Structure formats: structure tokens, C-alpha cells
Amino acid sequence: MCEKQAFLDTAVELAEIAGPIARAAWFGQTDVGYKSDGTALTQTDLDIESAWRDLLSRRFPDHGILGEEYGEDRTGSTYTWVLDPIDGTRQFGTALLNFASLISLCRDGNPILGIIDLPLLSARYTGLEGHGARLNDTDIKVSGISDMARAKLSLANPESFVGPEVPRFERLQSRTALKVFDGGAPAYGALARGRIDICLNGNDLDPYDICALCPVVIEAGGSITGWSGEALGLHSHGGIVASGSDALHETVLDVLR
């Protein structure tokens, strides 16, 4: 078995661990608490990440881990797992559907593997460097359109765009054909399968929100960067944008600039 396949198999195993925990909590009674920074937290976030860390520490003791709930461990390693057990905790905690478990592996800081797992829908987006992107067992590709006037745009919660971001956000949304809001990580999966053409998030993201999205979008043929066109990875923070073609992405970046 090649090394990358072993990594992918482990990532899928992590998703399989998270799914039953997330489903049981979603169908049950989930109490939402808050971290010191005011962001939402549930016991499910903690339970999933704890189980993930236990497996990874046993299987790859020399790999680093960066998780939203328990921080970093050995992140100077060549390989670092980047974990967000429940991305979209606000939605999860209020029994909405647009949340995901995000699993990524970075090599020298660059995301080479990503999973966007939607446990309630039994839908799993995967991207592996050099091996394409899939939705469950089906290969997926971005739309490939270049005309912004025809584009379908997914925008994060408007409250996440602040200060000088606001007019840039407004310029972009005014030039597209259709807009949806607060799609979260699932929107990037939808972009990878050609159902959305542009995804835009504001300046409130961290590596565990970002890294898993990158291989899924890139391996499906799309582009994903920061707002200024910078590559994304283990040390990325802030706003990101993804597009369903390189040509469309250049146009989007021009608008954001």
C-alpha cells in the first residue's frame, strides 16, 4: 500500500469514528456552550477530537496534530493532521444541517489530503494530492465556468465581513447570478462537484477551518486561495475564496482587490 493511500485510509477511519457520535448528538439533546472567545462549543466537538487524537497518536506517533479544541502537538513535524471535529458548531448545536467534520493532512505545511464529511447525509468529499476528488465513490469536477455573470456564489455569514472587507464583499455579490448564504464547509464540497462556482469567507477562519477544503477543491480542478491570491496551508488565517476555474478565480481576485 502506498503511503498516501494509508493516510487516506486513516482519514476515512477518522470520519467513520466521528459520524455515529455526531449523529447521536444531533438527534438527541445537544447543549451549546461557549469558549472564552465567544465561539460555540459542544461536548460532541470534544469527544470527537479526543477520539481522533487517540487514534493518530497510536498510528503515527511522529506526526503533528493541530485541532480546534485541543490545540497543537508536534506541529514542527513533516506531517501534521489538522482537525475540526464539528465545523459549523452553531448550526450543529441548533439542529441545522450545514455542518461538517473536517480532516486534513499537511506535508511541510501544505495540505495534501482533505475530507469534508457530512455525517447526517452520508456524504463524504475527499481530495488526495495527485489522485483527484470524490463524493463518496464518484469522481467529481468543478463547473469550469469563467463568466462571473453566470456564477452561483456562496457567501459566509454576512457578519463575518467587517471593515474594509464589506465593500469588497458587496462588489462581488452584485456581479453574480445567484447567491446563497452561510453554507459553511459543505459549500466548498458543492463547488468541487460543480454545483456552486464561487465560495467566499471573511476574516474569521483558522487553519482547521481551511486546510481540509484545499485538496478537495484543487483536486476537483478548482482554485482556492486567500483574498490576495496567496496559497493556503497550515499557518493560514483569515479570509479565503474558491472558484470553479482558474479564469474565474482571477476575475474574482480582481474584484476583491
Q: In this model, does residue 1 exceed pLDDT 60?
A: no
Tell me if 87 is assigned to a ligand binding site. yes
Q: Point out the domain boundary residue: 139, 166, 185.
A: 139
Task: Say if residue 93 is in the same domain as residue 184.
Answer: no
Q: What is the pLDDT of residues 247-256, one digit of tens each?
A: 999 999 999 9
Task: Say if residue 132 is in the same domain as residue 158.
Answer: no
Tell me if 68 is assigned to a ligand binding site. yes
Task: Say if residue 7 is in the same domain as residue 133.
Answer: yes
Task: Say if residue 162 is in the same domain as residue 119.
Answer: no
Residue 5 Cα distances to 12, 30, 113, 128, 131, angstroms: 10, 35, 10, 9, 10
218: domain CATH number is 3.40.190.80
Q: How confident is the model at residue 35 (pLDDT cuts 50, 70, 90)?
A: confident
Task: Say if residue 71 is in the same domain as residue 165.
Answer: no
Nearest to 40 by CA among 81, 83, 94, 113: 94
Task: Say if residue 87 is in the same domain as residue 25.
Answer: yes
Distance between CA atoms of residues 155 and 160, nearest Å? 10
Domain that holds residue 73: 3-139
Tell me if 145 is assigned to a ligand binding site. no
Q: What percent of the chain has pLDDT over 70?
A: 100
Task: Say if residue 44 is in the same domain as residue 112.
Answer: yes
Q: What is the pLDDT of residues 77-114, one digit of tens each?
A: 999 999 999 999 999 989 999 999 999 999 999 999 99
Give me the number of domains the chain comprises. 2
Task: Say if residue 105 is in the same domain as residue 225.
Answer: no
Q: Point out the domain boundary residue: 115, 139, 163.
A: 139
Task: Say if residue 163 is in the same domain as residue 243.
Answer: yes
Task: Say if residue 225 is in the same domain as residue 173.
Answer: yes
Task: Say if residue 154 is in the same domain as residue 227.
Answer: yes
Rg (CA), the chain: 17
Phi first, then psi: give them for residue 243, nearest 5 degrees.
-140, 155
Q: Answer yes or no: pTM beyond 0.75.
A: yes
Q: Which of 12-21, 68-77, 198-207, 227-236 has the lowest mean pLDDT?
A: 68-77
DSSP string, 145-203: ---GGG-EEEE--GGG--TTHHHHHHHHHTTSSEEEE---HHHHHHHHTTS-SEEEE-S
Looking at residue 191, its pLDDT comes to 98
Amino acid found at 20: P
Over 18-56, what HEC string results? HHHHHHHHHHCCCCCEECCCCCEECHHHHHHHHHHHHHH
Q: Point out the domain boundary residue: 139, 170, 194.
A: 139
User: How many CB atoms within 10 Å of residue 256?
Assistant: 18
Amino acid found at 236: S
Mean predicted lDDT score pLDDT of the chain: 94
Tell me if 21 is assigned to a ligand binding site. no
Nearest to 112 by CA among 250, 212, 243, 227: 212
Mean pLDDT, residues 67-84: 92
Task: Say if residue 132 is in the same domain as residue 152.
Answer: no
Nearest to 197 by CA among 223, 171, 215: 223
21: domain CATH number is 3.30.540.10
